[in-house]
Structure 1
Amino acid sequence: MPLTAQRFFDFCEKEAPKVEAVFILGDLFEYWVGDDAAAHSPFQQEVQRAIANLSTKVKTYYLHGNRDFLIGHSFIKKTGMTLLPDPTTVEIDSKKWVLAHGDALCTADVGYQIFRGWVRKSWIQKIFLSLPLNWRRGIAQHLRSNSHTQYQQTQASSAHRLKMDVTQQACAAVLRDHSGNLLIHGHTHMPAHHEESMDGQQWQRWVLSDWDLDHPESGRPRASALLIDDAGTRYIDLIKN
């Protein structure tokens, strides 16, 4: 996805250095099979350099996604980012925000949550990372292909779409646990601002967009960021900028 990648590099050079901090909430890469693989990938090396340069200008934070949760301390250190737990709470503009990737909030997809529980186990990860690199890449590409098929089903079926979205119960629970009422997450590819409530609990939820400037046949190009400053909270269209 060369156009999408170039827009990210431009973002790191142009828009991102103008703020106090940048938060990347996971799935920066389509998949990640270990920090050692980055040494064999010119693209991942280029991303590493772009973020490392950005980190010298502003505070940069990272939170694992469901595709790149194997990003380790080596890559984080080389980029200068700070790794955050999922979910995490930060104070921005004197308000408490709960940040999450979002996949753990999709509790209606029981099968995925079982899969997620297994692949996040440290001993499973150690076994996977001990495999030859070409084996790891093959497994990741197979999983990515299955994920793409499932995404296509989601687009075609409202029932699948509901299954793949976050649930209000999960959002309410994570906000109660963190004593907050402002939530930002990605993962679902359904960017929007929601005002929600359940059992007397009220909150606002901001969903980040995925980025895709290379596949116009799948819909309009997508690339945006969420900006929080004294003027409020709003999406920035990075296609027009």
Structure 2
Amino acid sequence: MNQTTLFIADLHLSAGRPDITAAFLRFMQQEAVHAEALYVLGDLFEFSIGDDEPSPLNDEVAAAFKACVEQGTPVYFIHGNRDFMVGRRFARQAGVILLPEHKVIDLYGERTLIMHGDTLCIDDAGYQRYRRVTRWGWLQWLFLRLPLTFRMNIADGIRSKSAQSKEVKVMQVMDVNQAEVERQMQRYKVRSLIHGHTHRPDMHTLYIKEQAAQRVVLGDWYTQGSVLVVSPQGMELQNRVLPAS
């Protein structure tokens, strides 16, 4: 097993993009199984309407995670804004460990905060209101008791509305708020932060109370795969080629 820890996010797996699914499965079989750990920081799926959804894709993904875990690589999962309905049944099926939305881990001696990243985008007030409402436990309880076809229609409507909203929002609104980044890093007493959500892969240097800190943003998997590879020697954002459709 290599002394590396891997991070991915924003794959948005769906039946309509088999090339992304193929790239993910290849990554799981050829890379993840050799790592010390794999962290999935949200939006693994394009949308989730509950663990009871009959989905060959979900079963295939769960099987890939399970095979990885059984070969000795633990898989950790943080919910994103698209797949926050992924629940304990899927976690048991896949053998993954569900983490809270903000989690501090020891990454080769460095206290590191990991999250999906949507909570940092506080300038997007409309989205933050939507996020608060959709995380209400009683509302999720009611949603899961609706017929599957009704839930699918709701999900299609939300996706369509989200796409329209992105077209009119300025890019700055959909990006992280720098003051919120610093506030969260100070709150959790870290100098290293890893997240996804914004689809803007980069490694940012910042200063918190005159001390150097780092914010790493994972990329999406729309046109190429994006993997953060971390070892005791450092970290590197790497790309992966998607197979031809």
The normalised TM-score by structure 1 is 0.90
Instruction: Give the counterpart of 1:234 among 225, 233, 236.
Output: 236
8 Å contact kept, 2:66–2:94: yes
Aligned residues: 226
Residues 65-119 of structure 1 show CA distances to partners (whole Å, capped at 9, x for unaligned) of 0000011111011111111101100001111110010001100001111111111
Higher RCO structure, 1 or 2 (CA under 8 Å, sep 6+): 2
Between the aligned partners of 1:77 and 1:189, the Cα distance in structure 2 is 29
* 1:87-126 equivalences in 2 (<5 Å): 87-126=102-141
1:167 alignment partner in structure 2? 177
User: Contact between 1:189 and 1:210, CA under 8 Å: does it hold in 2?
Assistant: yes
Structure 1 stretches lacking a partner, 5+ long? 155-159, 213-220
**Any stretches of 5+ residues in structure 2 without a counterpart?**
1-16
Letter paired with 2:239: D
CA distance in 1, matches of 2:212, 2:132: 29
Structure 1 distance, partners of 2:229, 2:141, is: 37
Give, as a single letter, the amino acid of the residue that structure 2 aligns with 1:170: E
Q: What displacement does 1:153 show?
A: 4.0
In the TM superposition, what are the counterparts of 1:69-218 in structure 2 within 5 Å? 69-153=84-168, 160-197=170-207, 200=210, 202-212=212-222
1:231 Cα offset (Å): 2.2
Per the TM alignment, residue 199 of structure 1 is displaced from its structure 2 partner at its CA by 6.0
Task: Give the Å deviation of 1:200.
Answer: 4.2
Q: Does 1:15 align with 2:25?
A: no
Tell me which of 33, 55, 64 is aligned to 2:69: 55
Query: Which position in structure 2 is the counterpart of 1:4?
Result: 20
* Alpha-carbon contact 1:52-1:79 (below 8 Å) kept: yes
17-26 or 190-199, larger mean C-alpha shift: 190-199
**Shift of residue 56 of structure 1?**
1.2
- In the TM superposition, residue 197 of structure 1 has moved relative to its aligned partner by 3.1
Cα distance in structure 2, aligned partners of 1:201 and 1:167:
19
Q: Secondary structure at the match of 1:35?
A: coil
Deviation at 1:41, TM superposition (A): 1.1
Residue of structure 2 in register with 1:42 after alignment: 56
How far apart, in 1, do the equivalents of 2:41 and 2:238 lie? Answer: 16
Return the alpha-carbon distance in structure 2 between the equivalents of residues 8 and 226 of structure 1: 14
1: distance between equivalents of 2:196 and 2:95? 22
Tell me the SS of whatever aligns to 1:125. Answer: helix
Give the TM-score of the pair, scaled to structure 2.
0.88
Q: Paired residue for 2:6?
A: none
Equivalent residue, structure 2, for 1:157: none
Greater helix fraction, Structure 1 or Structure 2: 1
For residues 100 and 68 of structure 2, the distance between their equivalents in structure 1, rounded to whole angstroms, comes to 21
Output the aligned Cα RMSD. 1.6
Query: Partners in 2 of 1:240 and 1:118 — Cα distance?
Result: 35
Q: Does 1:24 align with 2:24?
A: no
Letter of the 1:177 counterpart = R
Distance in 2 between the 1:133 and 1:162 partners? 36
Deviations 1:166-200 (A, max 9, x none): 11111111111111010000000111111123664
